Amino acid sequence: MPARLSSSPQPIRMLIVDDSNIVRRRIERSQQIPDLQVVGSAADGREALEMFRATDPDVVTMDITMPHMDGIECVEKLVQMKPEVLILVISALADKATAVEAMEKGANGFLHKPFSDRQLNEALEELLRGARAP
């Protein structure tokens, strides 16, 4: 578990990865988790790797269908860099095989697009609850 997800008062740092600017802005605007701080956003997998190194987030929301490097490959690389990172995949790809593949690569949760604000916050809460569980 990342140190910042323990009971310490430090903010939980989140990186948002999606090739849609409006989806990135929507996630940032709609998330209402106390202590969750958006530290960066990226529009594709390559940019996500750079932002990840620069911002050291605890939590990442990850799209799958993106140019240059897709989300599945990016999840795998992020987990290699920081095994304790929590990754919520947010994708329109609604088949089970994609969700299973993302989880096998190291994602911790999956939220389908389109999503409501409530669904986003529930998914983030569940992600963090899982990380805090003993």
Residues that bind other proteins (CB under 8 A): 19-23, 25-26, 29-30, 65-67, 91-95, 97-98, 112-116
Report the residue number, 111 or 131, with the smaller CB distance to other proteins: 111
* Minimum distance from residue 97 beta carbon to other proteins (Å): 4
With CA atoms as reference, report the closest residue to 45 among 78, 22, 23: 78
Report the residue number, 85 or 99, with the smaller CB distance to other proteins: 99
* Minimum distance from residue 48 beta carbon to other proteins (Å): 15
Query: Alpha-carbon distance 83 to 4, whole Å?
Result: 14
Report the residue number, 95 or 133, with the smaller CB distance to other proteins: 95
* Minimum distance from residue 100 beta carbon to other proteins (Å): 10
